[in-house]
Amino acid sequence: VEGAFAEMYGSDGGVGVRAGREALEAARRLRELSNATEKPAPNATRAPSPNAHAGNYRKATAGLADIALLIKAKLGLRAAWLDVGGWDTHQGQGTSERGRLAPLLEGLGQGLADFRKALGPHFGRTVVLVMSEFGRTIRENGTQGTDHGHGNCMLLLGGNVHGRKVYGNFPGLAEEQRYEGRDLAVTTDFRSIFAEVAQKHLGLSDLSQVLPDYPVTKSALLGVMR
């Protein structure tokens, strides 16, 4: 497959061709870094907890481990994106101890903790933003799960984050306070968080290049970054 892609992007010209070549080179460099990294002993495996969700945990930690390698190699990585699925808990969502959601949260938390440990001092120049494209409904449905909702939360961690607190306004759960009577209402536009990270961490002065339809004002920024 890699050979087919190399042939496809072998001809000259075009932004797409250059991007394809850069992606292939990044994959090759990542493979070299991974092979050069000391591997744990075959019997040095993590003991699964009662709520372990092995597939989700491996997916989250494998991607984060690759990103940590690239950051520590100082290859010029500015931003990385990782998709971890499995959060569509329409059935059997459960509690904080059992059900579908608990092991997902455990896997995410452990993956982020391992990422923090793997980066060491490099974590001070790194910001991690965790988000979903939609929330869940307030009420449980007929199959002990929740359906697609409106309001949600985001997590930020890193050396440049004003952490250990909750930002934003909680609108309340009374029916008249909900969005369309069923969902947690949105009080913070997610783009304001993106804008602050881009501005204060990445040093982007012209945010219109990143958020062309979102005029960034000082009042919209919550002060999540130093």
Nearest to 26 by CA among 9, 42, 12: 9
Each residue's pLDDT tens digit, 95-118: 888 899 988 888 888 889 999 999
Q: What is the DSSP letter of 138?
A: S
pLDDT at 217: 87
Q: What is the rounded (10 degree) CA torsion for 130, 154, 150, 213? A: -80
For residue 118, the surrounding DSSP H or E stretch is: helix 101-119
Q: Name all contacts of 101-106 with Cβ < 8 Å and 24+ positions apart.
A: 102/51, 103/51, 103/52, 103/53, 103/56, 103/57, 104/53, 104/56, 106/49, 106/51, 106/52, 106/53, 106/57
CA distances for 16 relative to 3, 9, 156, 168, angstroms: 17, 8, 32, 40
Tokens at residue 214, please?
């979102």
pLDDT band at 56 (very low <50, low <70, confident <90, very high): low
pTM for this prediction: 0.79
Report d(CA 211, CA 226) in Å as an integer: 21
Each residue's pLDDT tens digit, 179-210: 999 999 999 999 999 999 999 999 998 998 88
Report d(CA 61, CA 55) in Å as an integer: 10
Report d(CA 10, CA 74) in Å as an integer: 27
